[in-house]
Amino acid sequence: MRHHLLLAASLLLASGPLAAQNPEAVAAAALKAAPVWDGHNDVPEQLRDRRKNVLGDFNFADTSNTADPARDVAAMQTDLKRLRAGKVGAQFWSVYVSANLTDQQAVQATLEQIDVTKRLVARNGTAIQLCETSDCVAKAMKAGKIASLMGMEGGHSIGGSLAVLRQMYELGARYMTLTHFKNTAWADAATDAPAHGGLTDFGRDVVREMQRLGMLVDLSHVSEATMMDTLDTAKAPVIFSHSNALAINSHPRNVPDTVLARLAANGGIVMVNAYPAYVVEATRQWNVTRATEEARLKAVHIGQPKLAAEALAAWVKANPAPIGSVKDVADHLDHIRKIAGAGSVGLGGDFDGIENTVAGMEDVSTYPVLFVELARRGWSQAELEGLASRNMMRVLRAAEAYAAAHRGDAPLENPVSF
């Protein structure tokens, strides 16, 4: 009898509160309650680069067979099958265009990327739904569809025009990254020589007009000075759609603690990505060493670019780059949570915009692995739900509320340039 009582007690414990602390169970419960809302995915860029935006027979249900070894092109990292496996319920698709384009070329190319994104969504309407509001996202998630929003990556996409900015919003763009790798005429990038000391007066007007419209201000890719100027100007929450913590990896693309310390007061969010160069400090250092070796080999083999390239390839083969793992991504999330708070974390994997990933996060299907790792570290289900999508939902609702309160404000104006 005593044996049966002990067995019953152990079964009760196994199915009660202690079982809820199982990391896999905590992660699964969080993702069921709040699917992932990913801040940045570059499928539209892949459609442009691989297919010149001609969808033709493109099958978004499964892109695992899209590798082209002859062109050294890897398979895509995103498709409907893997989005489902990754518990993704909402996605910001990046309508990125090169920062090397002229203003007018960038505007046209951005329009083309908005168009191809809308066509992709329309062709897969049983699984994904175009959304422009937080209410639409909530309804799409409830209906079991993947809510699809669009974000412009780089202020060059508006060609220096607030009128173009307004029209991009009308077409459905719901965030804009203020810069990409290069400065704009009105904002400094993280990876370019400073030209403005942050935002210019026009740059501040861009931020004000974005928030008047309800468009999220994205600070990934911008300099620390631009981050600070934006936080000084912003009246609604900002986002970092795909950035990490500078304290963990010192790449200038990442967010310094000085900014993280201000983020909670703003109500903003840092959406962490899976790119080794931004996640793993050893990878960043390897890239510096590789660049140094490349310069040395070009000097050794001056006038012989083929020999220099062969020598560099041999060096890379003998010195493979470290790529890190899911644990390194979790380290960034732990740090951001510590400095800015659990309400300031999110996910922006940058999938299909990066050539490699940390081990264990090779594509969009792998988010549950990260959630299990965080649950092992003591993240609660509520914190994981915030990370997944509740924090992002709060940010977008706050941006929409600010815009609604300022609907009567006159649009800001700037003179045309030609």
Question: Which residues are marked as active site?
Answer: 40, 42, 153, 180, 221, 242, 350
Angle at 102 between CA 96 and CA 103, to 5 degrees: 75
Residue 32: closest CA among 124, 142, 126, 149 = 142
* Contact present, 270 and 262 (Cβ < 8 Å): no
Q: Residue 155 is which amino acid? A: G
Q: Which 8-state DSSP code applies to residue 28?
A: H
**92 membership: H or E segment, kind and range:** strand 88-94
Tokens standing for residue 315? 């060096």
CA pair distance 75, 73, nearest whole angstrom: 7
Contacts 24+ apart (CB under 8 A), 54-60: 55/116, 55/119, 55/120, 55/123, 58/120, 60/120, 60/123, 60/124
Tokens standing for residue 6? 């002990």
CA pair distance 112, 169, nearest whole angstrom: 15
